[in-house]
Amino acid sequence: MNLEVKENNIRLDVYIKNNTDYSRSKIQSLIKDGYITVNKKREKESYKVKENDLITISEFEEEITDVIPEKMDLDIVYEDDYLLILNKKSGVVVHPAVGNYNHTLVNGLLYHFNSLSNKNTIRPGIVHRLDKDTSGLMVVAKDDKTHELLSNMIKNKKVERKYLALVWGVIKHDNGTIDAPIGRDINNRQKFIVTDVNSKESVTHFSVIERLNNATLISCKLETGRTHQIRVHLNYIGHPVVNDPVYGNRKMFNEEFGQMLHSKSIRFIHPITKKELFFEIDAPKEFYNILDNFK
């Protein structure tokens, strides 16, 4: 994460606390351990930031000592000795975060499986994430080797993931590609936007499945996997995902269900057995109940 400083003469730890969700004690610990730099240099927590300073918070893993296994119904689509593929329900958070250590998918995975990759981290087994209110297929690794191989495959675009999305408005083109870099919104740390500032390459392909009354059902294929990527990209082209509470800014249907986005299929070569795996699963009934409003 990068923060471009917009103020002067504020303590480093205070500035970060005011612009992130981290506690001050956590920030001080990260500074001490070298996870936070200013203009690529380590500074003390008392350092007074200056306008245009670039603060970088490197990725880190939190200990999972406070996360306990919880009994949870998991919809396992496929499982072998190395990995599993599951169908995540809409409304389920994938892994614990600060202030939210319970009722996540990771809690459920810890209850059901003794062997998961990255066992001593905050997200054991999690190779890639889905947003809380996005349903559908996810891959979970059972050991570190499989996890590393799968992560590299995703990075090198060797895992094909397709999503089903219902968006506002009628898309005229049958197919399209959105190639626009995504970064965190400096005015709202909970959101991401298309921007050239501290952003990463982001590419989403889409094709129209059905045109409805003021809405379009589409298939999306991810080439990259940025946080909120599909939601940000579709909002960027003026067709936000229906029921999206963050980017939609439109009428909500069944607010408990969340955005109309479903991870429908996944295809890749098994990193260990070398066999092709392909799984496809339909969206939940709530998805189609909302879709009926546009027919």
The residue among 16, 21, 88, 91 whose CA lies nearest residue 55 is 16
Q: State the pLDDT at residue 65.
A: 55
The residue among 121, 95, 115 whose CA lies nearest residue 106 is 95
Q: State the pLDDT at residue 98.
A: 60
Q: State the pLDDT at residue 118.
A: 83
Residue 78 three-state SS: strand
Mean pLDDT, range 110-122, rounded to an integer: 85
| pLDDT classification of 2: cutoffs 50, 70, 90 | confident
Contact 265, 161 (CB under 8 A): yes
Contact 204, 220 (CB under 8 A): yes
Which pairing describes strands 182-184 and 192-194: parallel, antiparallel, or unpaired? antiparallel
Contact 153, 159 (CB under 8 A): yes
Report whether pLDDT(58) > 60. yes
Report whether pLDDT(133) > 80. yes
Q: State the pLDDT at residue 146.
A: 96
The three-point CA angle 46-51-56 to 5° equals 65
Q: State the pLDDT at residue 63.
A: 56
Mean pLDDT, range 140-168, rounded to an integer: 95
Active site members: 131
Q: State the pLDDT at residue 217.
A: 98
| pLDDT classification of 190: cutoffs 50, 70, 90 | confident
Report whether pLDDT(279) > 90. yes
Q: What is the pTM of this model?
A: 0.78
Element holding 203 (H helix, E strand): strand 203-211
Report whether pLDDT(102) > 80. no
Report whether pLDDT(99) > 70. no
